[in-house]
Each structure stands twice: as structure tokens, then as C-alpha cells.
Structure 1
């Protein structure tokens, strides 16, 4: 609360009232003398408060409420600074559609399902529970396509064309049900990054057969409804890849023919260029409800505006979730509308539930990537989201008086369905403290300023008080500066406040909002060692805990043998990829800092050409093809090899069954075998069924990373199984 006399008109009103009371008492009795004395004391207290507030302002100090008490903080503020007036009238603009988060693109929520209770429910509450945390209004998910889509692979509901679909694969279905349980009004959007190989009819193009591709998407939409009672509100086409006009028209007709008339199409999840094609083709334009652009830099273009369509930043943010990331998100949430008329912004990604050393570390609204410890983090960017979502609902209208502040920053004003409630969100994010990962941000300046929002129309008569929520970001801010509530008077239809750089302020007529808090969070801890998994414990989900697929899909499998449940690679043809996926399916696990460990697993080749166990794997995500590490391969032609790359282009040791090095080895052809790798004091050991294959100095091997994940994998896209996986200290 700023020490500004305009902001404290209530104190001066009280001062004047008490002065009149104390000077009008007829002191003709002991009772009246007592009342006079009380009035005199109150008058003195209020007078002292007014003077102290003015002195604090003169001394360049302001007061903020922290945990119910006033705290002094220094600012550079000239009390004589003239307030700049901004009119807030009731003329309405576009309808607000919501703020959302994106799970997928890819596998960004992978570790969340592994969390223990109560931490898992707490995390979900922070994301989805209305009026508690981020209070998200849109959840966008990936329709899994069996291929890498940034930080991992998400499983398709139809690995093969003629197999019955399985909607319980992956975890997006679970996340959607949890979001809906907390907020039944949350809207669901879905988009494909990759596609199973059979979709392309032998090509790498998913739109070779319009009917096949549309039916694949519609099957998923209907499956979400039939299996989980989830209504999908929006579907996209192909993330950040070329669109096919004929396919989009066909998809619209196919959705309608399937009774999914209410499912709207968002396109093209790339640039605004699709708008030009829409202007020249009415049928094409009529097929699309929302033009979605990625990382638009807060601007749309003339053609997009000419279409008259709803405009979204259908993927945005993608920035490390420190205070600068929070500044990025705060700035674009306002300016996506002010500059570009975008009525929804969706954060990639929702939650960093993937290993830190995968691409785009912690570019999210929350961090939860330690299910073994239960530790999670609630950064300021989550509360930057709450500045809008806790005080504005989908269906509210932006007011046309939203705009830029003359000394830097922006403001948006929104009103409810009946034009009764009003929320104004103001941001003064500086350039260096609000840099997003993309696109480049041109230089600009923000300086201290005093602003007056003058309400007109019905608001002038009905709004007499507003609630103020303040977040101060920047390098020196801390938790006490984030999402702090106070009250601010409305005097003659005007609200005056002083703004410092890097502030986010919500003024609202709603006496709601909450900075949710569950108290202490478990302490962070490294991935546990020793670690083992026989894959028999997880019954709800179809993926083994803590494994992160980077090419191919590894699912839990009932083997029907003494091995019980196993982990099986199930993608048998190369998908239509979004990245340049490795031709060798691989799944990672563990701590990237691991160096000297023992990694072992039982392996069953089935019909595959070979399998591997690995350690010190240094890359994942779209760069997994180039991963280095230590890879011990067992091949179907009774051969083993040691390589230092996943691509097998650097062989270090090799042995075939008719070589002398094979003598004495036990190899169970067509059955289970055990592969092991171990590093101890710069020496590498390899074992097959407990028999030593080699002992090599690491210095004799080419390009060996100093540390990295453990991994399991298959030589090609074929079935293969793994069991009794273990990692121990060397």
C-alpha cells in the first residue's frame, strides 16, 4: 500500500469527521467529558497516522502488507509526481476464453503420475483448483503418436491400424480427469505432434488418407468420452508442421457426421499465415473456429484480424520458471490481447515433470520432477497466472479501453456477463526482467509512474471499493512480494496507485482470491540408489514408473510366464515423427550425475534384432539420436558389442559366436538373458549372464561422457522385453 494521500483518502475523511465531533461536544457532564477525551485521543491517532504516511512518502518509503503486518520498503518516488489518467468505460471488446497449460509436446507430465499422496493432489490443486493457485481454465494435451515430441514420447491409443484402441495408455487421460474433478468448467484442447507409422500409408505424411487420419482423431475424442466422460472442446491439426487445407475441411465434416458438432478446430498451431488462405476460401475458413499461433510475440497480423475469427496464443511462454520467466508470462498475458487481440494464452508447458537435463529445463508453471522425494516447487509464474485466472472467468469481456501505459507497461480491463464486476490487470515488466525464450524482444523502457483509472458509465456509480493484489518481481523480490492482497478506495469513481517497474497488480471488485498454501514441502533429494524394478507393482498405469521414453514406447506387459509383468517395447514401425527420432527405441531413467554405477536387466529379444543396456547416456529429447554413452548390445545373431553412441557408429568392443571370445559364454537363444554394465574407478566391465565379457579402461574408449542416465533399448522398432532392472553404486 503506497504512502500516497490520494490512496489514503479514507484516513483524511476520518480525520475531518473526528475534528468536527471533538469541537462540537457540550462538556456539561462527566459522561460527555469522557466522550470528549476519547474523541480527542482518536483524533490525535488519526492525525499522527496521516502525518506519518506523508512523511514516509516524502522519505521515499512505501508500506506493503505482509502476513497481516506492515513492512517498509524503499522506492524512488516523488510525491509530487502527477498521476496519469486512464479512462475505463463499459464499451466491450472480445470475449475472454481463458488461460491454460499444455501437457505434452512432449511427455512433460511424465513423472507427475508417480508422485505419492498427498503431494500429488496438492500439485493438482495448485494447477487446477479454482481460486487457489493457477486456477487454469484450459488444459491442452497431446494426442500421443508413439514418437519423440520434445522431452519424450507419448503413447498412441492405436499403435497398429487393426488393433482395438486402448485409451488407458499414457497419462493424459488421468490428468484430464483430475483437472475436471477440480474444475468441471475447464475446457479441453488436444493436438497431435506425431502419428503412428500406419497413418501415412507408407509415407511420412499424415494426410495421405484424409479418412484414415480423421477417424484416428475422432476415435480418440470419442474414447475420452466413453471411457472417462471427458468432453474434448477443441482439436488441432499437426503441431508446428505444414497444414493440409483439404484435410481440415474433411475433418470438420467428419466431426459433424460423427455427432461432434461442438468440437471446434484450432489451426494451424504455427504462424498466422493460415489466415491468408482462409480469406481466399470460405469453406476452409468456415471449418476453423480458432486461429492458433505459437510464440506470436504478442502480435497478430492484418489477415488474421480480417478473418473475424477468435485468435489464440495456442502455445506460448516456454521460459525457465524463475522470476524472469514470471515476468515474461505476466507481460504476454496482458499484451497478447492489447497488441494482438488474442483471447487465450496457453503455456508450454503445464508442469516440468521431466528430468532436468532433458531439453527446456523447467519451462513451466510448476516444477515436480522428484516423485521419489515428493518435492515440488511453486514458482512466482504460477501466481502471475492467478492475477488473471482468479479474478476473470471465461465468457467475461475485455473492455476496449485496455491499452499501454505511457511510461511502460500495459493494462487490461474485463467485465463479467452482467457488466457488474470489474477486474483490471496492470503490468510494468521491464525488458531484461521479462525476456521470454522466444521471439526476440525489442528494447523498451519502463519507469516509475502514478496512474489514475477513472471509471465511467455504470462502474462510476456502483464501484466504491476495489481489492488490490500485488506481485513485485525482478531480481531482488522474494516470496513475500508475491500475490499480496490489500484494499484500495475508489474516490469519485477513480482509483489512483503508484507503479514501480516489474510490478503486476490486479484491481478487482471481487472479494475472492487466495494464495493457496499446503505448508511444508518435502525436501529435495537425488534419485535413490540402489534402485530396482521388477515391473509387478504398478497396476493403474501402463508405463513403468520413472522411465522416460525417448524413442519408441515401453509399456508394462503381462508376460504369462514366471517373469510376471515385464516392460515391453511395443512400436513395431517407424512413426511419422515430429523430431528426427532415433531408429533405436530407448528409455531413460535415473540421475544425470551418475558416473560409477552398475546397471543390469534381464532381456528377451523376441523377434527384434537386438537389445541393449546403457549408462552415462548424455542426451534425450529431439537430440536423442546423437546420444553418447556406454551401450552394451546383445544381438539376435549371437553377437555382443560395446558402443559409445546410440547410433552404433563407434564400436569399441565386439564379439561373435564363432570367435574365440565367445567360448565359455552361456547364451539362452530365444529366451531370457541378463546384461550388465559397471564402471568402477575408471574401469568398465561388461557381463552376459554373470560371465565377464570385457574389462576396459574408460580412457581407451572414444568420447565417453563423464556422467549420464541409465537406459534400456532395442536395436530397431520391434517387440522386446525387459525385467528385473537394477542400478546400484559401484
Structure 2
């Protein structure tokens, strides 16, 4: 899930990820490093102190899926999957002191077949989560500092205690537990009824607190964090909202950490919650990105108060709107952050000089502005050259997936929305298709949200209309459903249950299907077939292995949308030589 501003007794900045940084890895240099600098490099941009990432669980988590390190119970763990390892290492490279938090949004289906929760066997689930922490250290030299329970789900008391026991058994006493990444109840009262539980977790985490805390939570003496908040940059009032929250979560609720969802808007436009990141980087093909106001709003706190700084009692609300906080490192340094956010506009004023007369500071504040007064002199508004201009996704695109073994398992620009698609290497009896792209899941995950009943990965431009898509596809022996290519796809992601588009399926029973047409085409499993889908204006037709087999009217269907590949049901299927001409 992407970033937070956070304070332990003092102030820290954190970000949360959940399938929202998918396109970031595909940026070429130097643009990729520039983006990372604005996020993580100390005294340069947002200068984040904590990075919170998803413990991939194969399920849909808002704007896509993130792969589990263990798709199946019987397989060995694979810690190459997913981009979170890479992102954590890049953050650590820039700031070795950055803290790392992991939180599951979903879990692989084998942890509870047919269930909607992962607590059928709490010991097995705890072992699964601990294995992710151990794998981070063994394979990537990453120390995970905090681990959560389950995103926006009520916590299970026995699971929390089992997880703590398992962490200790693996000599991971230093890893602290955050519970519950949901609401104030019931975790804030658990400590009253379960004396053992109170010693197992360290932080009460709540989402979207509206600056309010809870009396029972305050009595618990646990750290109180807003473990998911939002900067709402796409809204006119969003920048002011983020500046207010960073101060007022503590001023009103004594909440010492605020986590912003999400880190960077690095997912396809038109997916849900577009531009909710601290900055925008959604065009790896062009190199274009935007450094936006939330980066500098964050810097007003993170560049002038390190983790471990403490709030002074000098905090409060301003009479005519706004708030102020004061923090110190206990060594003589002082930082005061003042926000006067009321309406739509934002002027960011970085540290500035002022006059002191007779020991009194007199400061006139403007409306909808953000100020930092500090003794710290290292703050800096970082700068990189202007990135390339924005460009649409290329109208001609091809991927033959002939890359062999990769550290990151997914092909560039494909964004999985249900299921998990990975590079795959076949045996030598498939010489023409040695390296392919394979949908891996054969069991529906235990999901945080709402997963589709078939798998899909999208690519390209949401505005594509007239298009030709060609792809070689392979149905494996166990298939009972089928495999497809599609165009003009609408509503993927968490809305895929209501997806629209033109889907060209071939099915394991030997037939094909498309929208309002179906027929027998003599299709066989364990054979490679070439599918071609062509859409022009209000009509579409399909070609199977050079034979034109169907034509249909386009009038009932969307006028534009992404290209896509996938399988009918959670079944393994392979793709090769994907080509788009739009």
C-alpha cells in the first residue's frame, strides 16, 4: 500500500504502497533516480523517514495486484517477485536510517481455501508473514522494523499473540507490531480484557482519523498513528488538507504519525484514486513526471525534525484557523511548523529569517500558507533538470518476453488487476516459446477487497479506440475455462466485477466466445494458438490462427479503453509475442 508523516514521541514521515508504484520501476535513467531522490533523499525533497509497503498476497489492493512470495503451499518461497524489494533498497540507498513497515492487504488462497479470512490456521499465517520478514533480510539485506496485521480488517487477538510469539522464536524481537490498520475499536479496548495482548503490539494504527483519537486508546499508552491518510492532491483543497493533517493529527488527537496513501501516483490514469500520490510518475515510456506540492508540504516537517524529536507543549490551534506545533531534539534545536489552511490555495514558505525584538518574535501570517521556523540549517529545496514532456503510450508496442530470468518478475507496462502474471521459462520442447508471460494463480486469493472471478492484466492507453491486438496464447492441460485478449477495457482493478470491453476468448472445450457470438473452432489445449482482435469504429472481428472466425457490432460497447490479456477463472495460461497497433 505509499507514504506517511510520522512521529514517535516526535515526528517522522512515512509512505504507504499497495500496487500504486507499478510503473515506477519501468522508468529509464536518469529519470527513475530523480524521482526516487525527490521521495527519499535527505534534505532534498520529501525526505521520508519511513516507507510502508505491501506484503504481496496475490490479491487486488486498489489499483492492481502484488505477487506473493509464496503462491502455493507446496512451493518454495521466491523473493524476486514484486517491486517492493527494489523500492525498499532504493530508499535505503538514499537514507540508510529509513524505517520499513510491512502490511498484508491480501493473502494467497492456500492459507484458507474457500475462506474470506486468513485465520483458519493462525500459526501457518503467522509463519507466512514471518517468512517474508526473514526473506527480506536473507535475500535483500533489508531489516523490517514494523509489521501490520491485515489492512482495514478487524484484528484477531490470538493471531496477534501468535505472530508476536513467532517473531520472538525467530529472534525477531526488534520487529514491532502495528495493530490494527482499521479503526479505534476493538484494538483500543483489547488491552483491558486481555492482559497478555497488551505486551504483544506497540502501535495502535487507525485509518482516516479526521484528527480524532480515542479515550481508551490514549489510556493504553500505546503510540497512536494515523496509518493511512490521504493528501487528496487531485482535489482543489487537497494540498491544504495534507498540511492541516500533518499538524492537527497531533494537536487535536495526540496522533504522532500520519501515513499518506500513496507514495507516488505511478499507475495508469483512469484507475481509481488517480493522482493521490505525493507526486506523479505515470509515463515510463516518455520519462515525464511531476514534482507537486505535497512533496514540499512534507519537506516542511521531514527536513527539520528527525525521528526521535519530541513535541513540546507549545502546540495548538490558531484563533482564525490553522495550527502550530513545536518540536525539539533535546540538544538545543527547535522547529516550529505553522499552517493557516482554510480555503483553496497554498503558498509554501520555506525557512525564512525574521526579526526578534526584546526577546519577542512578531510574525504576520498570510491565509492558506505553510511556514517553518527552525534552527536547522541543512534544509534544501532539491532540484533536478526538467523531465521530458508528457507523451501518450506508444501506438505501436511489442513484447516477446524473451528476457529469461529477471529480478523483477513482471513484464514492463503490464499492470495486473486480478491474478499474477510473471516471466516463465518452458522446457526445450517449446523452442519457439521458451520465454513467455504466464498467469500463475490457480486459486483465488484471500482478498482485502473485491477480486474478479477471472484474471486480467492491462496495458497501454485508456483512450485507445481503433486497435489491432495480436498475441500467441497457450492453454495448459488443467484448464477448464479459457484464455483471452481484449480491447477497450473499462473498469479494471477493484471494479473489474463490472468490467466492460471486447473480450476474445478461446475455451478449453474447443470453442471460442466473444461478446454476443460463439462457435466451435476446434481449439485444443496444450497447443499454441495466435489470436488477433481488430476494432474499427463500431465493428470488431477476430482471427484464430490466420482464419477469420467472427465479426460483431460495437454499438453496445465502450468507445475506448485499455488492451488486456487474461484467463477465464484462476487458471495457469501463457502468452507470447504480444503486439498492439493503435
In structure 2, how many angstroms separate the alpha carbons of the residues matched to 1:544 and 1:583? 23
- 1:353 and 2:266 aligned: yes
- Structure 1 residues 283 and 515: alpha-carbon distance in aligned structure 2, compared to 1, 3 A threshold: same
Q: Tell me the TM-score normalized by structure 2.
A: 0.95
- 1:656 and 2:520 aligned: yes
Match of 1:507 among 360, 366, 373: 373
Match of 1:558 among 419, 425, 447: 425
Asked if 1 retains the 8 angstrom alpha-carbon contact of 2:38 and 2:44, the reply is: yes
- Structure 1 residues 677 and 94: alpha-carbon distance in aligned structure 2, compared to 1, 3 A threshold: closer
Match of 1:594 among 436, 461, 464: 464
- Structure 1 residue 492, shift from structure 2 partner: 3.1
In structure 1, how many angstroms separate the alpha carbons of the residues matched to 2:435 and 2:232? 39
Asked if 2 retains the 8 angstrom alpha-carbon contact of 1:375 and 1:522, the reply is: yes
In structure 2, how many angstroms separate the alpha carbons of the residues matched to 1:307 and 1:405? 29
Secondary structure (helix, strand or coil) at the match of 1:95 reads coil
Asked if 2 retains the 8 angstrom alpha-carbon contact of 1:322 and 1:379, the reply is: no
In structure 2, how many angstroms separate the alpha carbons of the residues matched to 1:628 and 1:585? 14
Secondary structure (helix, strand or coil) at the match of 1:674 reads strand
Match of 1:102 among 8, 11, 16: 16
Match of 2:443 among 560, 569, 573: 573
Match of 2:396 among 515, 525, 530: 530
CA deviation vs aligned residue, 1:466-492 (integer Å, no higher than 9, x gap):
xxxxxxxx0xx6xxx545453123333
Asked if 2 retains the 8 angstrom alpha-carbon contact of 1:131 and 1:512, the reply is: yes
Match of 2:219 among 279, 282, 306: 306
Secondary structure (helix, strand or coil) at the match of 1:487 reads coil
Q: Higher mean Cα deviation, 169-178 or 534-543?
A: 534-543
Residue in 1 that maps onto 2:4 = none
In structure 2, how many angstroms separate the alpha carbons of the residues matched to 1:692 and 1:584? 26
Any runs of at least 4 consecutive aligned residues in structure 1 with deviations exceeding 6 A, and if so which?
Answer: none
Asked if 1 retains the 8 angstrom alpha-carbon contact of 2:327 and 2:335, the reply is: yes
Q: What are the equivalent positions in structure 2 for 1:136-147 lying under 5 Å apart?
A: 136-147=48-59
- 1:632 and 2:504 aligned: yes
- Structure 1 residue 323, shift from structure 2 partner: 5.7
Q: What are the equivalent positions in structure 2 for 1:382-393 lying under 5 Å apart?
A: 382-393=295-306
CA deviation vs aligned residue, 1:319-369 (integer Å, no higher than 9, x gap):
134662221110000001001111111110001110111100110101101
Secondary structure (helix, strand or coil) at the match of 2:165 reads helix
Match of 1:398 among 311, 314, 323: 311
- Structure 1 residue 224, shift from structure 2 partner: 0.2
- Structure 1 residues 526 and 617: alpha-carbon distance in aligned structure 2, compared to 1, 3 A threshold: same
In structure 1, how many angstroms separate the alpha carbons of the residues matched to 2:268 and 2:290? 14
Match of 1:681 among 537, 541, 545: 537
Residue in 2 that maps onto 1:121 = 33
Secondary structure (helix, strand or coil) at the match of 1:488 reads coil
Residue in 2 that maps onto 1:619 = 491
Asked if 2 retains the 8 angstrom alpha-carbon contact of 1:321 and 1:379, the reply is: no
Residue in 2 that maps onto 1:497 = 363
- 1:690 and 2:546 aligned: yes
How many residues get paired?
569
Match of 1:725 among 565, 578, 582: 578
- Structure 1 residue 578, shift from structure 2 partner: 1.4
Question: What runs of 5+ residues in structure 2 fail to find an aligned partner?
Answer: 1-6
Asked if 2 retains the 8 angstrom alpha-carbon contact of 1:321 and 1:365, the reply is: no
Secondary structure (helix, strand or coil) at the match of 1:497 reads coil
Residue in 1 that maps onto 2:284 = 371
Residue in 2 that maps onto 1:583 = 453
Secondary structure (helix, strand or coil) at the match of 1:168 reads coil
Secondary structure (helix, strand or coil) at the match of 2:87 reads helix
- 1:198 and 2:51 aligned: no
Asked if 1 retains the 8 angstrom alpha-carbon contact of 2:474 and 2:525, the reply is: no
Q: Tell me the TM-score normalized by structure 1.
A: 0.76
- Structure 1 residue 280, shift from structure 2 partner: 2.4
Q: Which has the higher helix share?
A: 1
In structure 2, how many angstroms separate the alpha carbons of the residues matched to 1:117 and 1:530? 22
- 1:548 and 2:415 aligned: yes
Match of 2:239 among 326, 332, 335: 326
In structure 1, how many angstroms separate the alpha carbons of the residues matched to 2:262 and 2:424? 30
Residue in 2 that maps onto 1:210 = 122
Asked if 1 retains the 8 angstrom alpha-carbon contact of 2:326 and 2:337, the reply is: yes
Asked if 1 retains the 8 angstrom alpha-carbon contact of 2:351 and 2:373, the reply is: no
Q: Which has the larger radius of gyration?
A: 1
Asked if 2 retains the 8 angstrom alpha-carbon contact of 1:584 and 1:716, the reply is: yes
In structure 2, how many angstroms separate the alpha carbons of the residues matched to 1:261 and 1:195? 24
Asked if 2 retains the 8 angstrom alpha-carbon contact of 1:592 and 1:709, the reply is: yes
Q: RMSD value over aligned CA atoms?
A: 1.5
CA deviation vs aligned residue, 1:513-552 (integer Å, no higher than 9, x gap):
1111112111000000101101124733110100111110
More relative contact order, 1 or 2 (CA 8 Å, 6+ apart): 2
Residue in 1 that maps onto 2:384 = 518
Secondary structure (helix, strand or coil) at the match of 1:486 reads coil
Asked if 1 retains the 8 angstrom alpha-carbon contact of 2:10 and 2:310, the reply is: yes
In structure 1, how many angstroms separate the alpha carbons of the residues matched to 2:348 and 2:390? 23
